[in-house]
Amino acid sequence: MNSVLSAIQPGYEAGNVLIVEDDQLMVDLLLLYLQEADYFCRVVNSAEDAWDILKTDAETYDCVLLDRNLPGLSGLELLQKIKSTQGIMDLPVIMETAEGSDEAILEGLKNGAYYYLTKPVDREKLISTLAACVRDYRRNRYLKKELSRLGSVFNHCLEGRFKFKTLLECQRLAVTLAEVFPEPERVISGLSELMTNAVEHGNLEIGYNKKSELLQQDCLIDEIDERLENPAYAGRYGQIHLKKEPDCITVTITDEGPGFDWTPYLSLNMDRVFDEHGRGIAMSREHSFDKLEYQDKGNKVVCTVFLNS
């Protein structure tokens, strides 16, 4: 049996997805859902074949939709290979499985899975999750291309203070300030994520449940734009203070919002594991920085990267 079961190309405006699944009924269902939503899909039935594709053609795809329980090389083992390979590790992986235990799900997330879908897959959850996944990946890919284009403009900066108000300013600052760090690509998504939180949840006071609602309705950006013009929030700015010491680099990000209880968001939590957002702080703490600490009432976060002596 040919490992490439099928490929469809209905305009693929929404994104390109590599599906790794050995159950033909599940493949047919996924293709039906994704074809309707204008995704281009390539399907393979083994993790080994998926790995052969990704080693040479990862740039083609915006996401991998991966069955955890594959014969031979398992889905979890393929996830680990992706997340430990330079040049591929940023590619998001959505796991889908019939094994819905807390331990299995947290294991996948801690190994770098973007999201977990349980079988039978719900169409609306699949489409909304995939849309968020592709959006985040394309944003991060853009940031890293900008970082590469700018070169080392800021890598001799020892200290700086900057203000930001919009999501675009967050992205531009993340690109610029990442250059100060010895591994810019490691910190750029964390910087962008935490500044975005300062805008959305801090200055604009879009709470967790409200953001979930706006994402489901696909109108988060519209709400952000409206609040940026609202006199109640329009005068608020975020600030970021970067300081380079002989042994570490710290960034302190503050906003002018009322603060929040940050403690549930410092680690991956089963209470939010099936939400479309809420993992950014934990992932920044895990992957972008050596230390991350919220202070005051939750509108100040201090992030540290230690330097090799």
pLDDT in tens, 276-289: 666 788 888 888 99
Q: Which of the four pLDDT bands, split at 50, 70 and 90, describes residue 300?
A: very high
User: Do 281 and 155 share a domain, yes or no?
Assistant: yes
Of 19-28, 114-123, 200-209, which range is least confident? 114-123
User: Which CATH number does the domain housing residue 189 bear?
Assistant: 3.30.565.10
User: Do 178 and 276 share a domain, yes or no?
Assistant: yes
Domain boundary among 133, 167, 182: 133
User: Do 128 and 263 share a domain, yes or no?
Assistant: no
Q: Judge contact between 63 and 137, C-beta under 8 A.
A: yes
Domains of the chain: total: 2
Strands 15-20 and 159-164: unpaired
- The answer as to whether 139 is a domain residue is no
- The answer as to whether 145 is a domain residue is no
- The answer as to whether 144 is a domain residue is no
Q: Which of the four pLDDT bands, split at 50, 70 and 90, describes residue 151?
A: low
Structural domain that includes position 237: 151-306
User: Do 220 and 92 share a domain, yes or no?
Assistant: no
Q: Which of the four pLDDT bands, split at 50, 70 and 90, describes residue 205?
A: very high
User: Is residue 6 pLDDT above 70, yes or no?
Assistant: no
Q: Which of the four pLDDT bands, split at 50, 70 and 90, describes residue 171?
A: confident
pLDDT at 148: 61
User: Do 54 and 127 share a domain, yes or no?
Assistant: yes
Domain boundary among 133, 164, 191: 133
Give the Å distances, CA to CA, from 148 to 17, 53, 142, 188, 226.
Answer: 25, 25, 10, 12, 33
Q: Which of the four pLDDT bands, split at 50, 70 and 90, describes residue 271?
A: low
User: Do 161 and 296 share a domain, yes or no?
Assistant: yes
User: Do 302 and 157 share a domain, yes or no?
Assistant: yes
- Interval 92-105: pLDDT, tens: 999 988 766 677 77
Give the Å distances, CA to CA, from 98 to 1, 69, 119, 198.
Answer: 24, 9, 5, 36
pLDDT at 201: 94
User: Do 129 and 157 share a domain, yes or no?
Assistant: no
Torsion of CA 52, 98, 114, 106, to 10 degrees: -120
DSSP for the chain, written as a single string: --SEEEEE-S---SEEEEEE---HHHHHHHHHHHHHTTEEEEEESSHHHHHHHHHHHGGG-SEEEEESS-SSS-HHHHHHHHHTSTTTTTS-EEEEES---HHHHHHHHHTT-SEEEESSPPHHHHHHHHHHHHHHHHHHHHHHHHHHHH-STTTT--EEEEEE-SHHHHHHHHHHHHTTSSSHHHHHHHHHHHHHHIIIIIIS---HHHHHHHHHTT-HHHHHHHHHHSTTTTT--EEEEEEE-SSEEEEEEE-SS-----GGGSS--TTTTTSSS--HHHHIIIII-SEEEEETTTTEEEEEEEPP-
Which of 38-47, 86-95, 283-292 holds the top average pLDDT?
Answer: 38-47
- What token pair was written down for 153? 């403009």
pTM for this prediction: 0.68
Task: Give the residue with greater pLDDT, 3 vs 157.
Answer: 157
User: Do 42 and 89 share a domain, yes or no?
Assistant: yes
- The answer as to whether 146 is a domain residue is no
